[in-house]
Copies of this chain bind each other. A is one copy, B any other.
């Protein structure tokens, strides 16, 4: 069972940048922008290097992903979605995932990662647990 409805899935599969919040060793919030896609009911992002966010997730699985849209609702508020979940780091698979996501985020002709950036890399896989925000992803009444 997933907490993502069709609207949530559509937004996560669109070329909308995702702000990924992880937790630093001291517990402070760390935010960076990532491309994401879906793999079944999980949200996946690819990382060629063992960046801070990869190290953070390996140590503390609690993450939040937030996405901003251009849609303004009837009250004048812009729609957005926040997904909270539990993430884990998988070794390998980053290049293939990034190539797939580059086609979504940049275009059909792009090669990504760029030449010279190699290695198995890491995939951050997040199992969504709760969706909040303003928009059709939080239920029929909002």
Residues of A within 8 A of B (CB): 17, 19, 21-23, 27-33, 62-64, 66, 68, 76, 78, 80, 82, 84, 106, 110, 132-134
Contact = CB atoms under 8 A, between A and B. Distances in A.
Where chain A touches its partner, the secondary structure class is strand
- What's the number of copies of this chain in the assembled complex? 2
A19 B20 CA distance: 11
Contact of A106 (B62, B76, B84): B76
Given A19-B31, A31-B82, A32-B133, 19 more contacts: A17-B68, A17-B80, A19-B68, A21-B21, A21-B31, A21-B64, A22-B29, A23-B29, A27-B62, A28-B62, A29-B29, A29-B63, A29-B84, A31-B64, A32-B82, A33-B78, A33-B80, A66-B66, A68-B68
